[in-house]
């Protein structure tokens, strides 16, 4: 007989409601990595010290990240009867003044406000979800991020957490699989493979034990939302992992998370301890005939280990080099057993699907791209951060409406989508829907969700060189075309950015990239030069200027023979 978490949830709900109804003001400080990187801990300290010294009564809560990275440190204040008001760029000095004004003096301090959340309006402050940065966003996976304490399972339970697991355990595993199939969920790690199909292969594979691996490797430059999710709402991901384990018949799960993401690891460890206390790990979970254990494995720093078979090699204690496939991991994976490897965001989506149902999930998105995608907006953009939009949202909406375009009135030059396996697109492609399929014919991809905005100050040849450095540095060395080819590409691109390029080099780059693509076993070699090729395809003029005229139109590359570089430009003096 499957037990529900009713009693635990009722208590959690009571506490949450008591907190929400309490007349005492509540101050929420976002302390995920992005906030910490610009001083959120100093802001938190200032608020703690100041309220103590001044005898200001309030509750201070550390929360995760709202995704408004451009406005970090973000502090939200609930002061009844007002709704929650979020404030941006709260340095320690501003924090003290903010607390005085809002909490002590009852002035909503609208100049610092980003927006309000919840019922009721405060004059001069817009509703946060109606501000440009949130318009067009559908916050599901990120729904809890920035609003609850990631260190407390009670907060997650009070938000109906683990409802998806309860529902799944009341269903047969095949029904769970079918629910995920009907949702149309595709893997969020980059390949966009239908999640249910991966699960089906694993479910049908003979033998035991089977494994579920949560892939938190996240090595793509420009992508960090999986880390944000683990730091801000770890239980959602862990719930998805349990559901995956139940659906495929696995008893053991591993989380592969880089050692460098220490805050995510700390949150995960705390979350696992809480799950054990609540009977959500171990034998007979919630009374069902389902046993599941989760172990954490710290990654040691290898980009290629984001590829699922390389990840499995790493878990087995070896060099993280991709395996020859087939057989794929659902058939022969960890220790030659059937293994499902799912990305963090995918597992979070699974928890939502089982809670709200497949049709709820599928009601946004497009035909073959159902649901939402979390994206990281960065580069030369006014409002960079982590956002969530329906799949198929045009790039223009992401870059212009949500991101606010390049800062300082600069002209948009290109958008790099899909990280190192994606591509650089010119502004003429901005009406393309951001989904798993539409970007491919243009030489880009959605990848794991990186959207880097590039303005007119960027030289795409220089950027292509940076890409080549990444491709070469992160090649695991197993396939000769990738190991040696990326080195050659790097040297040719270095010649071009340093003014030694020849016109024939451009075709040579294309040839080499094609050889590397054909001769590589994993996505790194197959796609690592896509950013270079797409830049060459869409911005050939800029490459030609470098190799024919020794001229860098954007003025970035120091071409030795470039005449414009021989005299000091006026702004340098």
Partner 1 sequence: MHPRLRPILDSFQGKPEELIPILQRVQGAFGYLPAEVLADVSRFARVPESSVYGVATFYDQFRFTPIGRRHILVCRGTSCHVRGAADVLRAIEDHLGIKEGQTTPDLAYSLETAPCLGACARSPCMMVNRKVEAGVTPASVRALLRKANGHGAEPR
Binding stretches for partner 1 (CB under 8 A): 33-34, 36-38, 41, 69-70, 72, 218-224, 227, 259-262, 297-298, 300-303, 314-320, 376-380, 384-386, 416, 419, 450, 452, 454, 457-458, 463, 466-467, 469-470, 473-474, 476
DSSP secondary structure letters along 184-252: T-B-SSSS--BHHHHHHHHHHS-SS--EEEEE----STT--HHHHHHHH-HHHHHHHHHHHHHHHT--E
What is the closest distance, in whole angstroms, from the C-beta atom of residue 416 to partner 1 in the complex? 6
Are 88 and 81 in contact by the 8 Å Cβ rule? The answer is no
3-state secondary structure of 90: coil
- State which residue, 302 or 438, has the beta carbon closest to partner 1: 302
Angle at CA of residue 452, ends 520 and 131, nearest 5°: 145
Q: Where are the alpha helices (DSSP H) in 113-162?
A: 153-158
Looking up tokens 């963090």 gives 344
- State which residue, 195 or 416, has the beta carbon closest to partner 1: 416
Q: What gap in Å lies between CA 111 and CA 188, rounded to an integer? A: 38
Looking up tokens 């966009």 gives 192
Instruction: Count the helices and strands in the chain (H runs, E runs).
Output: 21, 18
- State which residue, 299 or 392, has the beta carbon closest to partner 1: 299
- State which residue, 214 or 452, has the beta carbon closest to partner 1: 452
What is the closest distance, in whole angstroms, from the C-beta atom of residue 317 to partner 1 in the complex? 4
Quick one: which H or E segment has residue 166?
helix 163-170
3-state secondary structure of 62: strand
Q: What gap in Å lies between CA 497 and CA 539, rounded to an integer? A: 15
C-alpha to C-alpha distances, 104 to 107, 142, 570, nearest whole angstrom:
8, 32, 52
What is the closest distance, in whole angstroms, from the C-beta atom of residue 224 to partner 1 in the complex? 3
What is the closest distance, in whole angstroms, from the C-beta atom of residue 434 to partner 1 in the complex? 17
What is the closest distance, in whole angstroms, from the C-beta atom of residue 455 to partner 1 in the complex? 8
What is the closest distance, in whole angstroms, from the C-beta atom of residue 32 to partner 1 in the complex? 10
What is the closest distance, in whole angstroms, from the C-beta atom of residue 402 to partner 1 in the complex? 12
- State which residue, 195 or 378, has the beta carbon closest to partner 1: 378
What is the closest distance, in whole angstroms, from the C-beta atom of residue 38 to partner 1 in the complex? 5
- State which residue, 103 or 341, has the beta carbon closest to partner 1: 341
- State which residue, 30 or 173, has the beta carbon closest to partner 1: 30
Q: Which of 175, 325, 333 is nearest to 254 (CA)?
A: 333
- State which residue, 379 or 485, has the beta carbon closest to partner 1: 379
């Amino acid at each position: 007989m499957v037990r529900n978490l009713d009693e635990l949830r009722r208590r959690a709900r009571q506490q949450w409601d008591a907190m929400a109804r309490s007349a005492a003001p509540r101050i929420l400080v976002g302390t995920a990595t992005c906030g910490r990187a610009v001083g959120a801990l100093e802001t938190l300290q200032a608020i703690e010290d100041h309220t103590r010294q001044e005898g200001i009564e309030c509750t201070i809560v550390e929360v995760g990240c709202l995704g408004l990275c451009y406005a970090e440190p973000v502090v939200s204040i609930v002061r009844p009867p007002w709704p929650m008001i979020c404030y941006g760029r709260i340095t320690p000095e501003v924090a003290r003044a903010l607390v005085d004004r809002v909490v002590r003096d009852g002035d909503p301090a609208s100049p610092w406000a980003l927006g309000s959340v919840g019922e009721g309006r405060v004059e001069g402050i817009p509703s946060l979800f109606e501000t440009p940065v949130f318009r067009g966003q559908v916050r599901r996976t990120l729904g809890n991020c920035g609003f609850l304490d990631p260190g407390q399972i009670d907060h997650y339970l009070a938000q109906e957490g683990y409802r998806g697991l309860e529902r799944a355990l009341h269903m047969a595993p095949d029904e769970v699989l079918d629910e995920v199939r009907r949702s149309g969920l595709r893997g969020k790690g980059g390949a966009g493979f239908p999640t249910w199909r991966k699960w089906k292969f694993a479910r049908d594979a003979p033998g035991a034990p089977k494994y579920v691996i949560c892939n938190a490797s996240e090595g793509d430059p420009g992508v960090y939302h999986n880390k944000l999710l683990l730091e801000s709402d770890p239980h959602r991901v862990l719930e998805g992992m349990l559901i995956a384990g139940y659906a495929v018949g696995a008893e053991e799960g591993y989380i592969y998370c880089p050692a460098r993401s220490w805050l995510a690891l700390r949150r995960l460890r705390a979350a696992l301890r809480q799950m054990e206390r609540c009977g959500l790990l171990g034998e007979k979970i919630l009374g069902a005939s389902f046993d599941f254990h989760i172990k954490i494995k710290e990654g040691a720093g290898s980009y290629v280990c984001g590829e699922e078979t390389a990840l499995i090699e790493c878990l087995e204690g070896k060099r993280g080099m991709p395996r020859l496939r087939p057989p794929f991991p659902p058939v022969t994976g960890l220790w030659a057993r059937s293994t499902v490897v799912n990305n963090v965001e995918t597992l979070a989506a699974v928890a939502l699907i089982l809670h709200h149902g497949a049709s709820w999930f599928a009601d946004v998105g497009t035909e073959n791209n159902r649901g939402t995608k979390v994206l990281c907006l960065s580069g030369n953009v006014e409002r960079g951060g982590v956002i969530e939009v329906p799949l198929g949202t045009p790039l223009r909406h992401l870059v212009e409406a949500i991101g606010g375009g390049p800062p300082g009135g600069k002209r948009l030059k290109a958008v790099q989508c899909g990280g190192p396996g994606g591509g650089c697109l010119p502004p003429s492609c901005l009406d393309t829907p951001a989904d798993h399929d539409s970007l491919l014919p243009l030489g880009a991809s959605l990848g794991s969700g990186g959207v880097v905005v590039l303005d007119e100050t960027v030289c795409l040849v220089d950027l292509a060189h940076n890409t080549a450095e990444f491709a070469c540095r992160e090649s695991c060395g197993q396939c000769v075309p990738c190991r040696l080819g990326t080195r050659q590409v790097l040297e040719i691109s270095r010649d071009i950015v340093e003014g030694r390029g020849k016109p024939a080099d451009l075709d040579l780059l294309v040839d080499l990239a094609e050889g590397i693509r054909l001769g590589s076993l994993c996505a790194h070699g197959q796609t690592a030069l896509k950013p270079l090729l797409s830049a060459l395809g869409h911005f050939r003029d800029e490459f030609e200027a470098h190799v024919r005229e020794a001229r860098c139109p954007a003025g970035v590359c120091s071409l030795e023979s470039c005449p414009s570089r021989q005299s000091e430009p006026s702004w340098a003096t």
